[in-house]
A and B are shown apart, each in its own frame.
Chain A
Amino acid sequence: MSGLVKGSVAVVGAAESDLGQVASGNSPLDLMAQATIRALDDCGLTLKDVDGLFVAATQVRMGPMALAEYLRIKPKYFDGTIIGGSSFMSHVAHAQAAIQLGLCEVAVIAYGSTQRSVSRAAASPREFNPYESPYRPILPISAYAMAAARHMHQYGTTREQLAEVAVAARKWALLNPKAWEKEPLTIEQVLNARMVSYPFTVRDCCLVVDGGGAIVLTTPARAKSLKKKPVYVLGVGESLSHANISSLPDFTVSAASESGPIAFKRAGLKPNEVNMLSLYDAFTITPILFLEDLGYCPKGEGGRFVADGAIAPGGKLAVNTSGGGLSYCHPGMYGLLVMIEAIRQVRGECGARQVPQCDIALAHGNGGVLSSQCTVIFGSENTI
């Protein structure tokens, strides 16, 4: 056995914390704990079973320590890798490695944020960069806005095509009772909303809400004895390309073009074999870039690919069925919730928004300013 093996671990529990606006005084750890207990209840395990702990949060600098203390558990293996919103996909890769090596058997990956309650500026203070900060970009928004502007210039992508991503997300959100947004949205409303960082209006940008989540992973053998059908990790890919946006070589290409092929290779699958995609939609440009970089359309065609409701309910490809970071929930580092939707689709738990016969789902995480890209492919028992 060499490297990460297809199906060597399974997700057995998945849950969100309370989402949206929580009562003041709640800490990110309160939400992490709530999500962790719910995820354990989801599979029938308890805190006593947890021997691996993976935590990342912007408001808790030493996550594994803080959550272990809160829950009074003593994990044998822990990891606090923090690379932005994709941290949790990275944690899946690291948990898979640890479980394969026998370093732990039941791993919890957890996240929590109270960024709506305390403000985004307080929840995620920016580091000072003497080569960028004087220009006062609204980060991370302006970094993605400059990627969108370059994509528009180079490939003819339009603001209307960007808006299609937000409108599709809203249509899915209206099918998800847990979604923050409850009203329909039109392309015109996106275009005419308050401008934040051209070409993005506030409707091109993800939500700012409180929330968290947790998932539980274990060995296939242990997974078979638990409450829910296991969702197997078929392949994971991780890639880092830069930290500051000034160091991204090509603003129209993300490192999803590296993480995606690694994940597909490990899974032994091709892009067209996937039944639904959960793509980190921090901004309307990101699903467009990831559809290109993950192999769903040629480079530059992402804007035209999403046009005419192609990724909305009833479209040609099911993308961000939860409503995404744009309309369902975006508590800061949203990657764990990106995976939870993919896991639920494979389980068949998604009700009105369920993708028929969803055996394979891809969750793609993005962190920083297009900086870290991690891809996880999940599969049902039929795929093993």
Chain B
Amino acid sequence: MIDLTKESPLGVYSQYLKNGQLAYQFCTDDNSVCFYPRAFAPSTGSPNLEWRVSKGLGTVYTTTVVHYKGEAPLNVAMIDVDEGFRMMSRVEDIDPMAVKIGMRVQFKVHPGNEKQAPYPIFTPIGDIK
């Protein structure tokens, strides 16, 4: 059980990211996967949430390309991570319009900057599911 006076779900998650790991939670009451990180498990309300580290492999569920004025087009995608959770992310190292639904991708940490903490992104790993 998390002690909210000492730590936060986001804080723990961010610490994993700083160590290069994509963390998610697992409810040991009903064996369900939980993402985004929470203090209590959805549905069961259980505090029995175990931290686990993803292998970092996933599949693009859907994708878009956003156009900000004066900037290069930017990919935004939903990734179905193999351990059974979905997250918003960005697929990099590829033309944003070439990101396709079904594409297999691998997690890496974007280092962020002075305004933005490190965050997970994905890169293509070749074979299309």
Which residues of A approach B to under 8 Å, CB–CB? Answer: 130-132, 134-138, 142, 145-147, 149-150, 153, 194-199, 245-246, 251
Contacts and interface: CB of A to CB of B under 8 A. Distances in A.
B66 interface: yes
Given A136-B68, A146-B63, 9 more contacts: A130-B117, A135-B90, A136-B76, A138-B66, A149-B62, A149-B64, A150-B101, A196-B66, A198-B97
Interface string B90-113: 100000010001100000001010
Nearest to B86: A246
Interface in B109-129: 110, 112, 116-117, 119
Contacts of B97: 198
Contacts of A146: 62-64, 76-78
Given A137-B88, A138-B66, A197-B67, A246 B116 contact: no
Nearest to A132: B88
Nearest to A251: B62
B61 interface: yes
16 contacts: A132-B88, A135-B88, A135-B89, A136-B76, A138-B66, A142-B76, A146-B62, A146-B77, A153-B62, A194-B67, A197-B66, A197-B67, A198-B97, A246-B78, A246-B86, A251-B78
Secondary structure at chain A's binding surface: helix, strand, loop or mixed? mixed
Given A150-B101, A246-B36, A135 B61 contact: no
Given A131-B36, A149-B101, A153-B101, A246 B64 contact: no
Contacts of B10: 130
B19 to A, nearest CB: 17
Interface in B37-69: 61-68
Contacts of B65: 195, 197-198
Contacts of A150: 61-62, 101
Contacts of B101: 149-150, 153
Interface of B: 10, 36, 61-68, 74, 76-78, 86-90, 97, 101-102, 110, 112, 116-117, 119
Given A135-B76, A136-B74, A246 B62 contact: no
Contacts of B76: 135-137, 142, 146, 197
B63 A149 contact: yes
A128 to B, nearest CB: 11
A140 to B, nearest CB: 12
A362 B88 CA distance: 34
A234 B63 CA distance: 39
Nearest to B75: A135
B62 A131 contact: no
Nearest to A152: B101
A153 B67 CA distance: 21
A208 to B, nearest CB: 15
A199 B62 CA distance: 12
A171 B86 CA distance: 39
A246 B87 CA distance: 6
B64 A137 contact: yes
Contacts of A131: 36, 87-88
B66 A137 contact: yes
A142 B68 CA distance: 12
Nearest to B64: A145
A145 B65 CA distance: 9
Nearest to A201: B67
Contacts of B64: 137, 142, 145-146, 149, 197-199
B127 to A, nearest CB: 18
B15 to A, nearest CB: 13
Nearest to B10: A130
A20 B34 CA distance: 44
A143 B71 CA distance: 20
Contacts of B102: 153
A220 B78 CA distance: 48
Nearest to A137: B76
Contacts of B66: 136-138, 142, 196-197
A7 to B, nearest CB: 37
A135 B74 CA distance: 9
Contacts of A137: 64, 66, 76, 88
